[in-house]
Amino acid sequence: MERKGVITFKGNPLTLVGPELKIGDTAPDFTVVDAGLQPKKLSDFKGQTIVISSVPSLDTPVCEIQTKKFNQEAANLNAKVLTISVDLPFAQKRFCDAFKIENVVVLSDYQNRNFGNAYGVWIKELALLARAVFVIVDGKIQYLEIVKEVTQEPNYKAALEKTGTARIPVGK
């Protein structure tokens, strides 16, 4: 399924591939890989509140800011924060080491876009993931934001409040 014009990159409309998920939907399972090239599934985190931070590439300024922000906030959450991109796991590890990213689990969707296609955030024209945030509680999507303009940051406060564990107030 393709959805045109849901997001833009520098004002230009893009096409997202995959379903349009909604709040209340059962969170689709997916398989990505960790830094050791081992498969990781959403179901591996069953029973936990999950924040999924989807980013196009960690090597870009907004993705760097987003990942650092969620890493900072994750220390104060009773939730597991997953950052997912299509960057190679080796590049993700370098990024995490360079910026001391220790509170989030960074995962790669480079092999088969299983996450991107299941969550409707695969950008057809760029072969990257859209910037998005999903909060999953008890296996259900409690919050989702697909950021309209890829070059802008998500609403951190709204997402973190849905975990029920964020310290308040949280910055944008």
What DSSP state is assigned to residue 167? -
Active-site entry in 21, 55, 62, 63: 63
Q: Residue 12: what are its φ and ψ, rounded to 5°?
A: -90, 125
DSSP letters of 8-52? EETTEEEEEES----TTSBPPP-EEE-TTS-EEEGGGGTTS-EEE
Question: How far apart (Å, rounded) are the C-alpha atoms in residues 172 and 169?
Answer: 9
Q: Which residues contact 71 (CB under 8 A, 6 or more apart)?
A: 81, 99, 101, 102, 103, 104
Is 96 marked active-site?
Answer: no
Question: How far apart (Å, rounded) are the C-alpha atoms in residues 11 and 82?
Answer: 28
Catalytic residue list: 63
